[in-house]
Amino acid sequence: MYHSYQGENCLSKLIMASEFSVDSLHVRVYHNRLRMGRSAAEMVADRVVELLKEQAFVNIIFAAAPSQNEFLGSLIKSEVIDWKHVNAFHMDEYIGLPENAFQKFSSFLKERIFERVPFNAVNYLDGNAINPRAECSRYTKLLAEYPTDIVCMGIGENGHIAFNDPHVADFNDPHQVKIVDLDHACRQQQVNDGCFANLDEVPTHALTLTIPALMAGRYIYCVVPGRNKAKAIKHTLSGRTSVECPASILIKHPNAVLFLDKDSASLLI
């Protein structure tokens, strides 16, 4: 499975270690996470440019996680994207954190991209809505009104995508946005990532876009660096789809690219 790509030139060999596919999912492995992030940003920027040739606006869903730092840091430097023709969405949010909490995914995205470039519109999930179910309905209507062109996402240590942990993941979910309880592995990852000091501080519930909502994106770009993600990546690329590893559904998407560094790809050798 893990092999050198035969068509690459000398420069790409220095940047990329390997390229292969599992089912429909294209996988690119880089020597380090900085090169991985830059390459993902370039590919997303090129896709936005291409889409804007045929439509007035591009709708993009973004993930909030430290794994996205290099990607987002490179994307905001793009000189080819006309941000005024891009609508932004985010894919999940904790329920009940204080409005100014730095751990909120909206805070993360504001700092790294949403307030760094001039989007046409930024559409936030409100984790403090008085009626969370009504908030799910509101955001579902937004997604219907602005069909997703691009999903920029990651994969969790337990294989989750967005906050679809294994115990709540449903490949045929009837909902587009829902309330979920977070499993122990997911909450522990937030501590491992340095977002919370201990497990007791991590919220137990969140709003999330469902797996069908994510898979509805015309193009998916999934950025997953780090050795702590190696097991999840191995399961994702096993060739078998199962909610035990929600990310495994990505191998069925017709236009998805998975970006790895050597650490996250270490168990594929």
Residue 3, helix vs strand vs coil: coil
Q: Where are the beta strands (DSSP E) in the chain?
A: 16-22, 25-30, 58-62, 86-90, 92-94, 121-123, 150-153, 177-181, 205-209, 219-224, 256-261
Spatial contact of 233 and 268, defined as CB atoms under 8 Å apart: yes
Q: Give the CA-trace dihedral at 127, 128, 134, 138, to 10 degrees.
A: -60
Query: Which structure tokens are listed for 217?
Result: 């994106």
Query: Which structure tokens are listed for 8?
Result: 């690459």
In the predicted model, is pLDDT for residue 2 greater than 80?
Answer: no
- Provide the residue type at 73 as one letter: G
pLDDT digits (tens, 9 = 90+) for 69-80: 999 999 999 999
What local confidence, expressed as pLDDT, does residue 3 receive? Answer: 36
Residues 6+ apart with CB under 8 A from 181: 168, 204, 205
Q: Helix H segments across the chain? A: 10-15, 33-52, 69-75, 105-109, 132-145, 184-192, 211-215, 230-236
> What fold, for 10-268?
Rossmann fold (3.40.50)
pLDDT digits (tens, 9 = 90+) for 119-130: 999 999 999 999
Spatial contact of 18 and 3, defined as CB atoms under 8 Å apart: yes
Query: Which structure tokens are listed for 162?
Result: 């967005």
The domain limits of the chain are 10-268
Measured CA to CA, the distance from residue 102 to residue 100 in angstroms comes to 6
What local confidence, expressed as pLDDT, does residue 102 receive? Answer: 80
In the predicted model, is pLDDT for residue 14 greater than 60?
Answer: no
What does the angle CA 24 – CA 157 – CA 198 come to, to the nearest 5 degrees? Answer: 160
pLDDT digits (tens, 9 = 90+) for 139-164: 999 999 999 999 999 999 999 999 99
Q: Helix H segments across 53-174? A: 69-75, 105-109, 132-145
In the predicted model, is pLDDT for residue 8 greater than 50?
Answer: no
What is the helix, strand, coil percentage profile of the chain, to 5? 35, 20, 40
Query: Which structure tokens are listed for 189?
Result: 């990852």
Please give the model's pTM, rounded to 2 decimal places: 0.92
Nearest to 42, CA basis, from 76, 82, 83? 76
Q: Give the CA-trace dihedral at 45, 51, 55, 61, to 10 degrees.
A: -60
- What confidence category does residue 47 fall into, taking pLDDT thresholds of 50, 70 and 90? very high
How many other CB atoms are there within 10 angstroms of residue 19's CB atom? 18
- What confidence category does residue 7 fall into, taking pLDDT thresholds of 50, 70 and 90? very low
Say which range, 26-35, 104-113, 188-197, has the weakest mean pLDDT.
Answer: 188-197
The torsion angles phi and psi of 235, rounded to 5 degrees, stand at -70, -40
